[in-house]
Structure 1
């Protein structure tokens, strides 16, 4: 620190003058970034690349989410990569997923390419130089670095890891217990013998409650409105059969990957074409897993149609087992106020609690909150349009990976990487240094739609963030949020010379 008169000034963070250049800069070392790196190593082995991640280790949400019971809410045969067979149960714990990612990193020799605690803060494109200049801050030292790259690949996910969504309720200041959010779970929190209220009814609550109910005195899930649940077996019966027959693991992986994809494609189809039938199926599949006389209609009938929000997976019905055993219960009501001892709900009842867990979701981060400029002009993403859900109009040499909401995230990672691979090859054929999506003359006056149509998907974290995000159009190739069955047909055949991409 330096002192001038009576004012105390912070010394500027050290800056490294050397500017490193790589052919491809990948932002993020989670499932998306590691998947992108694998494709680069396999398809373009001569290109230089690095992965930058602000966290201390690989994995993204699997590294930052440490709450009890954290696990996948998708099957690992589709959540795993296409090239890397999954050998465990269909639903896996966070530690197992990190171990799987470690295997991919080791097999592709990616560790020397990954730099942790490196946060990208700004990216500036120069058409004259045909490259990006990227500003990076070392999280551990505060040192500021600068890198240049020909291609920027945003694989940072969509969580704001630092600031989860924390609503404020009346009376929270007078509550005498502990309030914790799953996204910042204290390592020393002991719930043994404690009364716990979990606010929320989504995948996090459904995962957390069975895990903590084993030791807590009692756990109450307090929900304003219910969610849909599905209770598949922990291991697919087909996996048991195939492994009993000693079928090679890569065959087993591909067969189960197709089986799970087909199952969820069918659920997606029913959600659009026969939502009442799908609702009845989901409700009736839960009924026999709950105590006799349990009010299924009140506690498990959402306000939205199936798959307007994600269906929460409860393997082996473990959430329902906790309810049957009396270790957990559900209250469907609004919060009136916090009290000294707990929460008073709209009915007037007070839920006494030693610990309140606010499983209220997260804040969505648009491109990691990186500041983008193109030729000195700031990029206002809400004024831009997506190109096939992986590039942005008017932004050159930049791709992003955004997975599926309804299907496994990684199913789309592979599809996006395939298309970027094709785009790299097409640029080579044309001798092009840059490519940028631009609206064509026939797209003039095209109706622009929100990033997510609420009639299609209306989760709270999506609706809270629409104003931060880019738009989509009313026609190809300016749409996204398609189902996996559609994109599995569309993306491999996408026309890279239809005029929507300008090569230079």
Structure 2
């Protein structure tokens, strides 16, 4: 007889092997973790489980025209592998090439299992080990590891965010979200509406304007935009006369210092920051352009992320008429375009919903401790990389106001240091423990971006004081990491088996 879904046997899981560390994700976080852990702990057996077919993470997923870094590549690249191209604002394909070349150069590529979608991770206190269940190219597979490191980012790869626009289903043209850009989408000579004004829209619009008949950026409210050069003359001059490793360090520190000064200025004297940005916007746009209508946000600088306009390209396409900005609210869609609350109608062949991401912790992987499922969102984050009472698990989460890799590298080094400490002392498990006293909390990300405000509690919780606070201050975190943090602060160490309370 034919097996029904209820009676069909569940395919057996094959053994993927045992490792010291199982790393989830082959982006900046995962590859950086592999390098740092192996650097400090030679001989460590690790495997990287990557759901996609290539290295890159975000930089492989996003393929829309114009995708590029929205912060300096010198702070986004790894400190241990110099960025050799001259651009400080890098295109997405060049970033992915850099990542792949680096992984190959350092012997990391051979440890990556592609096409491997991690479903769950189960901790067993009887053996002090994680069992990671995955689907690998259609086959169920099990990996075991003493540690699991999540370099899986902070958002849902399967679903972008698109608001429930009235009548969108009646639009006769093409609707596309930048997270899932079709390779064969031809926008030559088309009228394109890009809904949104964040970093994606800012980089996408100038690229579309090279071929489209007209591109319209439709926004509900303005975003702060700051133009910057793709190539920094000072950094390039230093790189021509100074050895590569030294010049890369200089470029990195210069980028960090510049970005930190901009952020500090914005937070301490917001009125001054507003005036500086407005003056630059006015200088980049035609005389009489309504800057205060389209580029004067209601919030202060860095309440939301400041968007970088590389070489002023967005201002350029607005100035020459290839793109326009419309600030209004959507009333409804019809078969030819969108009608706005003001009554204006915008015709379109293609509508791009650059409307944001969906936050997600640990890549949506189900976590259990001794058979009991836990919710990462209900746990406090320790030093922004471990979870309260969860043993031997590291999660990499970057900054909202600086390059992701700045904290990713600190997290990787902290993981490497913890592994070394435990190996030296013969410990088989370690977890941060709050104790019995309740602590005040805040969202892990306190930036006022839409994708955060839509789901404030998607990420683990943050306290208000270290080591339980998730800060958005790289310089303070770097100081603590190098000079203050101790390996055993608020940590519980032990050997098989772990205490019952770890099961939560």
- Alpha-carbon offset, residue 135 of structure 1: 0.7
Which residue of the partner structure matches residue 67 of structure 1? 64
Alignment of 1:28-67 (within 5 A): 28-67=25-64
- Alpha-carbon offset, residue 8 of structure 1: 6.4
- Alpha-carbon offset, residue 494 of structure 1: 4.2
2:443 aligned to 435, 445, 450, which one? 450
CA distance in 2, matches of 1:497, 1:212: 50
Which residue of the partner structure matches residue 284 of structure 2? 289
Aligned length: 493
CA distance in 2, matches of 1:94, 1:223: 25
- Alpha-carbon offset, residue 269 of structure 1: 1.2
Confirm or deny: 8 A CA contact 1:230 1:313 kept in the other structure. Answer: yes
Structure 2: gaps (5+ residues): 495-504
CA distance in 2, matches of 1:377, 1:291: 62
CA distance in 1, matches of 2:311, 2:277: 15
- Alpha-carbon offset, residue 482 of structure 1: 2.8
- Alpha-carbon offset, residue 240 of structure 1: 2.9
Confirm or deny: 8 A CA contact 2:123 2:370 kept in the other structure. Answer: yes
- Alpha-carbon offset, residue 374 of structure 1: 0.9
Alignment of 1:238-317 (within 5 A): 238-244=234-240, 246-317=241-312
What SS does the corresponding residue of 1:298 show, helix, strand or coil? helix
Q: Does 1:488 align with 2:478?
A: yes
- Alpha-carbon offset, residue 42 of structure 1: 1.4
- Alpha-carbon offset, residue 267 of structure 1: 1.5
Q: Does 1:150 align with 2:132?
A: no
2:219 aligned to 200, 208, 223, which one? 223
Alignment of 1:327-346 (within 5 A): 327-346=322-341
What SS does the corresponding residue of 2:237 show, helix, strand or coil? helix
- Alpha-carbon offset, residue 291 of structure 1: 1.3
What SS does the corresponding residue of 1:50 show, helix, strand or coil? strand
Confirm or deny: 8 A CA contact 1:423 1:496 kept in the other structure. Answer: no
Which residue of the partner structure matches residue 383 of structure 2? 388
- Listed one character per residue, the Cα deviations across residues 245-282 of structure 1 (whole Å, up to 9, x for unaligned) are x3222222111111110011112212221111112111
Confirm or deny: 8 A CA contact 1:160 1:365 kept in the other structure. Answer: yes
- Listed one character per residue, the Cα deviations across residues 79-98 of structure 1 (whole Å, up to 9, x for unaligned) are 11001111211011111111
Alignment of 1:1-150 (within 5 A): 3=2, 11-12=8-9, 14-18=11-15, 20-88=17-85, 89-138=87-136, 140-141=137-138, 143-150=139-146
TM-score (normalised: structure 1): 0.95
Classify 1:367/1:8 alpha carbon distance in 2 versus 1 (closer, same or farther; 3 Å).
Answer: closer
What SS does the corresponding residue of 2:331 show, helix, strand or coil? strand
- Alpha-carbon offset, residue 19 of structure 1: 5.5
CA distance in 1, matches of 2:289, 2:473: 34
RMSD, matched Cα: 1.6
CA distance in 2, matches of 1:56, 1:97: 16
CA distance in 2, matches of 1:497, 1:223: 47
- Alpha-carbon offset, residue 477 of structure 1: 0.5
CA distance in 1, matches of 2:9, 2:315: 55
TM-score (normalised: structure 2): 0.95
Alignment of 1:158-169 (within 5 A): 158-169=154-165
- Alpha-carbon offset, residue 373 of structure 1: 0.8
Runs of 4 or more above 6 Å deviation: none
Bigger Cα displacement from structure 2, 321-330 vs 466-475:
466-475
Which residue of the partner structure matches residue 472 of structure 1? 462
Which residue of the partner structure matches residue 192 of structure 1? 188
Classify 1:420/1:493 alpha carbon distance in 2 versus 1 (closer, same or farther; 3 Å).
Answer: farther
What SS does the corresponding residue of 2:411 show, helix, strand or coil? helix
- Alpha-carbon offset, residue 493 of structure 1: 2.9
Which residue of the partner structure matches residue 408 of structure 2? 413
Which residue of the partner structure matches residue 501 of structure 1? 491
CA distance in 1, matches of 2:16, 2:318: 58
Which residue of the partner structure matches residue 426 of structure 1? 421
What SS does the corresponding residue of 1:3 show, helix, strand or coil? coil
